[in-house]
Amino acid sequence: MRLFQFILFFFTGLQLLKVQAQEKTGYIPLTKQERQKVELLLSKMTLEEKAHQLASFYPNANKRLNIPHMQAGECLHGVVAAGTTSFPQAISIASSWDPSLVERVSTVIAKEARALGIHHCYTPMLGVLRDARWGRFEEGYGEDAYLVSKIGVAFINGLQGRGKNRFDKDHVVATAKHFVADSEPLLGANGAAVEISLRSLHEVHLPPFRAAVEEAQVGSVMPAHHTLNGVPCHINTYTLNDVFRKEYGFDGLGVSDNNDLRWVQDRLFATESREETIRKALEAGVHTELAFKQTWADKRMYGPPLVAAVKNGKVPVKLLDDAVRKVLEFKIALHLDEEENPLGKEMTELQKGTKDADVNADVFFSQIDGSLSSPRSNYKTVLNNPAHDALALEAARKSLILLKNNNLLPFKKSQFKKIAVIGPNADTIRLGTYSTQQPKHFITVKQGIETAVGKNAQVLYAKGTDIQHPKDTQLAEAVAIAKEADVCILVLGDDDKTVMENVDRDDITLPGDQDKLLQAIVATGKPVVLVLLHGRPAAIQWAKDHVPAILDGWFLGQETGTAIAEAIFGDLNPSGKLTVTYPRNVGQVPAFYNTLIPGRPRMMWGTTEGATYPFGYGISYTQFKYGVPKLSKASMKASETVFAEIEVTNTGKVAGDEIVQLYLRDDISSLARPIKELKGFKRISLRPGETQKISLPISSRSLEFWKDGKWITEPGSFTVMMGPNSEELKTIKLELTQ
């Protein structure tokens, strides 16, 4: 009997050891054997072979050791490659206030990326947007750190997968960028220096990155172009190491932004030599380099200059080994050796067509499709999955915002005999930046209207104006068509030159002669629906005052025209809400709702202080009535969670979605606090006459603020606010005790 028990115990122990050996652990999930494989490969590499592993968006396979190639790519709102699904732009899909939708979208993006041979995506962009002049505005999710965190975490989880699906064959490594505070640059200029307090850094700009690590274990991080309080972000050990790694717990891959390692020395003049630049970047945990279209030569910092610096002792080999180790860990975690063509393309293929020159943004966007990726044999089946198109349409529907409606919308499909569709964005592809140059399809607003009305109405069309080079004859033609029509749908906004990386503005009016076109069409006296397809908040106060209906889509993706037509004709009840404030003019920039309380009341000569539209705003074809907010407890300890509750009723005649928002204000604090801060939200669907009770949690995390180098809470009174946007709020008091 004892012998039997011993044998049973022995084999049970062996089985347990085997299971433990196969268990994946760590920030980058690997088994014990896989980590041993990393060390074995590292020990067999030459110095030059190690350096090649640090090349991002460049051949990095090793045929001698059978180390696979890891391909990077752009996936902001769809994979930047021909024939992929184009979802609403980042600022647009955030307007859905629907993290579950966002995660489903990024799950599809990851699946298409892997089918195309892309394993590492340079997205999401987690900047907290505060300056409408900034050219990269459309790449972000909004002006509030809490909202950006929730949308960003959802996008990362979709890209990387959860649980057993994390980094599997249908998921990729996500990149939190740009670290940090690039969305509040001086003068609104991309890459400009950022000078802000540590308090603003921790309370406004760092929280989305903190959430990316703590809630989604984001795989990689990309530093920003600029200097932060005088220190280039690519060699900033305080933000990258002290905060991101030590405080938040990040243990993933650092990747440089394009050519920024070299520019630490050549543009920012923060180092004296290549060796110093390389050493400081590696010390800050920037493990790989993106140097698009740079050959294996002196302008590729982690190329020959790195090899030389290690050989002459200026860069410790341990720094190089630590960086290579991270790359190998991800290559194994992603199972890249199981791909159909794991070694990718030959380096010589890239060298032949590459000029050793700096590459500007326009060239980068147009050439990025010509990547090194090796698509799987079934990639066309994956890209052409009808479910992906259906999801793109769902995302467009939920992201579309109704800003104004004086009982003009929705139309009946037989209501008008002649419908004028006018504007530079009415019948052309508008996807926004970091988009595929060859979408699988794109439905324009004109096409959507034509499909919706069929033979019930005649659709007239005029461009009205070119955004870049307007002509007077275009305006006259548009006015003539407007006079002939019964109603006008005017589609205005941005093109791919007026809002993009490295293209900022000192004016936020509609670019070109679009305001002139708008006023001319309104002057005809015909009913006008203004549709905005754009990438930054526009100064549309005149439109708010004079146009009866305004729909805002930002850039809605490939299904733009279908979603807008559905909203115009009542097949869709718009439900999106703004994630940014719409300033009246550029003089109100930077504009954001959660400002600190001023020391004196502000007076403006010749105008008023308020924004055109506030954060969180958006209306519906139905009406929602909010009850009186209640708390599950009137007071709480820091260790407890209290729930804020409110009843919302659809008092209208059609079904609709509402986004219930929760804000908090610290009534008395040792430091001045914002007048309100978003701390919760929930998207709900209500039938006519239906009432739902919404419950949103409030924890000590909701009440904390950053002071003297740490997060703290202070006992006292807090105002709890609930409502449909950041201004129309109902309040109740909460007490935080010791």
> Is residue 239 within 8 Å of residue 218, measured between CB atoms?
no
| Alpha carbon separation from 291 to 45, 140, 253, 643, 702 (Å, rounded) | 23, 23, 16, 49, 40
CA–CA distance, 437 with 365 (Å, rounded to integer): 8
Q: Give the integer Cα–Cα distance in Å for 98 and 702.
A: 20
Nearest to 560 by CA among 517, 521, 530, 531: 531
| Other Cβ atoms within 10 Å of 163 Cβ, number | 7
Residue whose C-alpha is closest to residue 27's, from 214, 168, 257: 214
* The pairing of beta strand 289-290 with beta strand 55-56: parallel
* Cis check: omega of the bond before 99, within 30 degrees of 0: no
Residue 572 tokens, joined: 């869709």
Residue listed under structure tokens 């729909």: 551
Give the span between the Cα atoms of 492 and 4, in whole angstroms: 82
Output Rg (C-alpha) for the chain, integer angstroms: 27
298 is catalytic: no
For residue 463, what are its two tokens?
A: 């461009």
Q: In this structure, are residues 142 and 580 in contact, taking their beta carbons and an 8 Å threshold? A: yes
- What's the CA dihedral at 717, 719, 720, 721 to 10 degrees? 180
Select which of 257, 427, 494, 552 is catalytic.
257
Q: Which H, E and C letters describe 193-246, residue by residue?
A: CECCCHHHHHHHHCHHHHHHHHCCCCCEEEECCCEECCEEHHHCHHHHHHHHHH
Closest to 597 in 3D by CA, of 662, 676, 661? 676
Residues 241 and 180 sit within 8 Å (Cβ to Cβ): no
Task: Extract the tokens encoding 238.
Answer: 């305080």
Three-state DSSP class for residue 275: helix
In this structure, are residues 159 and 75 in contact, taking their beta carbons and an 8 Å threshold? yes
Catalytic machinery residues: 257
